[in-house]
Amino acid sequence: MSEPLNRQTALALNRLDDRVVPTVLDLTTAGAHGELAGGLFTQYDAQPTGTGQIDSFLRIQGRSAQTATQTGFNTSARPLQYQENKSPQFTRDLHSSAVPAVTLPTGRFREFLLDVNQKASQPLLSLDELKVFVADAPGLTGYDPATGKLAGLAPVFDLDAGGNNSVLLNYRLNHGSGSGDMLFRLPEAAIGGGGYVYVYSKFGETHAGNAGFQEWATRTSQTGAIAGSVFFDADRSGVRDAGEVGFADRTVYLDGNNNGFLDADEVFTYTDADGYYAFEQLAVGDDYGYSVRVSDKPAGEQTTADPPLIFLAPGELRDRVDFGFYYAPPES
């Protein structure tokens, strides 16, 4: 008689197990990257030169005898709630306008930089909770661990939305003394109309901190740009020559999924009165190839081949990525 009950209990337990099995994004190898809860996470080895300006907005102090984990969020308010460093130089309000925008082949994002500090002998550290809040007001206080809200606000990003997720980091991949280790990229749409941005994070549930602070920062992005034009190729040479005119208001886009169509999430722009377009703040490096295409092509034949995937170096401007079109002038 008790057997059905037991079976029911076992089923219920199985379901609970399914729900709490954690997803770990492993960033312990150089260049590793992945997506969790809509955010993009990339292992990042800071270079001593060319890193740009780095501004800390949240420093979480080292693990102490009282705390096995390291928790905190940025605010200008004092006192602080967790293990945040109280210096206003390291823990402060962050306005959304100070969070750099970066365009990837798959869309527009805002970028945050995480620098972790561990012993070289025990380099692994888990990032177990990460939430981002956006508010009109600076100086918010009162994170509620029971509801996951800050000052009553729901997060615009939650690492643990849809499951108990975490990111595993490896301090030893970051050579030198620069700030580095991980880039966190949040879809631009999450920031919405802007305001003050609060980043809450918790480290060390599965791989504990052992050697000091963890620090969130913004950096001046090392990005690239692509520019060109859509033009009437009067002599069908495949090159925009002096005197050849541009097509205004044409839609040029980055074909992130390379299907030849402008899809809803893809980044696009319009040509100006002289047919010129530009994409700026593009992420650089071997991981990001851009397929530039024109969606509303002028009539007639295209005299230029569609450009191959474009990969950019930091600070590079790839210009003269032009699209020529020709049609016979109407008879008069």
Q: Give the residues lining the site for Ca ion (CB under 5 A).
A: 115, 128, 160, 164, 166, 174, 181, 233, 235, 237, 239, 241, 255, 257, 259, 261, 263
Q: CB–CB of 37/157 below 8 Å?
A: yes
Structure tokens at 232: 């009437």
Name residues whose C-beta falls within 8 Å of residue 80's C-beta, 6 or more positions apart in sequence.
72, 86, 91
123: preceding bond cis by omega (within 30 degrees): no
Nearer to Ca ion, 163 or 195 (CB): 163
Residue with token string 């997060």: 155
At its nearest, how many Å lie between Ca ion and the CB of residue 269? 15
79: preceding bond cis by omega (within 30 degrees): yes
Nearer to Ca ion, 124 or 239 (CB): 239
At its nearest, how many Å lie between Ca ion and the CB of residue 210? 13
At its nearest, how many Å lie between Ca ion and the CB of residue 23? 9
At its nearest, how many Å lie between Ca ion and the CB of residue 135? 23
Q: CB–CB of 107/290 below 8 Å?
A: no
84: helix, strand or coil: strand
At its nearest, how many Å lie between Ca ion and the CB of residue 180? 5
The H helix count followed by the E strand count for the chain is 2, 23
Nearer to Ca ion, 35 or 235 (CB): 235
Chain residue at closest Cβ approach to Ca ion: 237
Terminal Cα distance for the chain, rounded: 96
- Name the residue among 216, 188, 211 with its Cα closest to residue 200: 216
Q: What is the DSSP string of 207-264?
A: S---SS-EEEEEE----EEEEEEEEE-TT--SS--TTPPBPTT-EEEE-TT-SSS--T
At its nearest, how many Å lie between Ca ion and the CB of residue 312? 20
Nearer to Ca ion, 93 or 215 (CB): 215
Nearer to Ca ion, 93 or 180 (CB): 180
For residues 123 and 46, give the distance between their C-alpha atoms in angstroms, rounded to a whole number.
16
At its nearest, how many Å lie between Ca ion and the CB of residue 95? 25
Nearer to Ca ion, 127 or 197 (CB): 127
Nearer to Ca ion, 261 or 270 (CB): 261
